[in-house]
Structure 1
Amino acid sequence: MPLFLLSFKADLDNLTDLQPRGGCDDPNYGYFLKLKCEGCGEITQKETCVMLSETVSVPNSRGTANLVQRCKFCARGGSVLMIPGHGKPLTLQLSEAQLPTPLMVFECRGFEPVEFVFGDGWTAQSRSGTVYEIDLFQGEFAEYDEDDQCPVGLSNPEASFKVVHKKSKRGQTVYE
């Protein structure tokens, strides 16, 4: 059961705290993923939406997952379980340093996430504290902050997955 950490970065201009509306663990935020079947290697043509608020029983198991589906090519089954509590907003300091920030951890069986598709439902704050609703589907955002009298914007959002391992540090679970 591999664990995958989804991290993201973007170029922020006078914005900070970029994250899904309601936070990284918002139960109603849909993470749109392209998944690769571990059986035949095929990648889903359409993005699959995974949400914390949606759970289903895993067939032939006592467990649950946020997504259970079969590969359309080989019919092999798989599941995706989201592990909340590890995401953080992207700050202006991280953006300037070109450092990614963690968004969500996924436990995958039978599938491997290969792409995250940015969409709407994001927020960020300007230096003056103005909160902006952002649709990242187009890949950029530009506005003018009247309170701070400066342009605000975002460009070049990037997401990546990496395999991580569950570890315990001082009584806390971390994924490295």
Structure 2
Amino acid sequence: MVFYLLHFTAELENLTNLQPRGGCDDPNYTYYFKVKCENCGEISQKTTCVALSESVSLPNGRGTANLVQKCKLCGRDGTIQMIPGQGQPLTIELSQAGKNSRLMVFDCRGFEPVDFVFSDGWKAESLSGTTFDIDLSEDEFAEYDEKGECPVGITNLQSLFKVVKKQERSGKTTYA
């Protein structure tokens, strides 16, 4: 099993706390990305969608995963299990420092997630406190904050899947 942490960053203009609408552990937020088969190296042509609220039985009948899929080239099964509790919103401070925010951890067996696709279902707060529902499918967002009397925006969206290790400390599990 390999754990992948999805990091993301963006340039935020007069916005903070960018995250999926229901928070980083939103069970209804759907993650879209391609998968790479760890057996043959084939990268899926279509994006795969995974959500915490969806669960399917494993092929061997032991347990469940959020995704079970066969590689189209070699036919091997791969699974992905999402691990909530590791995400944090992207704040304006992190954005200005050029730092990434953690979004979700994926326990992958047989597949490697690649090419995360931003979509609808995000939210952020303006510096004046106005909440915006955001669609990032165009890789940017621009609006005007009436209360704060200033433009708000998101540009230069970037994401990265990084291999991390599970760590147990004082009864708490983290991934770093």
The number of residue pairs the alignment matches comes to 176
Task: Look up the match of 1:23.
Answer: 23
1:128-174: CA deviation from partner (whole Å, max 9, x where unpaired)? 11111111111111111111111110101100011000002232111
Aligned equivalents of 2:168, 2:96: Cα separation in 1: 30
- 1:63 Cα deviation after fit: 1.7
Aligned equivalents of 1:120, 1:56: Cα separation in 2: 24
5+ residue gaps in structure 1?
none
Task: Look up the match of 1:64.
Answer: 64
Aligned equivalents of 1:99, 1:170: Cα separation in 2: 27
Task: Look up the match of 1:5.
Answer: 5
Task: Look up the match of 2:164.
Answer: 164
Aligned equivalents of 2:22, 2:42: Cα separation in 1: 33
- TM-score w.r.t. length of structure 1: 0.98
Aligned equivalents of 2:113, 2:55: Cα separation in 1: 18
Task: Look up the match of 1:117.
Answer: 117
Counterpart of 2:145, as a letter, is: D
SS of 1:94's equivalent in the other structure is helix
Task: Look up the match of 2:155.
Answer: 155
Aligned equivalents of 2:5, 2:18: Cα separation in 1: 18
Task: Look up the match of 1:89.
Answer: 89
SS of 1:152's equivalent in the other structure is strand
SS of 2:147's equivalent in the other structure is coil
SS of 2:161's equivalent in the other structure is strand
Aligned equivalents of 2:64, 2:78: Cα separation in 1: 12
- TM-score w.r.t. length of structure 2: 0.98
How does 1:47-62 map onto structure 2 within 5 Å? 47-62=47-62
Counterpart of 2:167, as a letter, is: K
- 1:61 Cα deviation after fit: 4.1
% of aligned pairs identical? Answer: 63
Extract structure 1 runs of 4+ deviating beyond 4 A: none
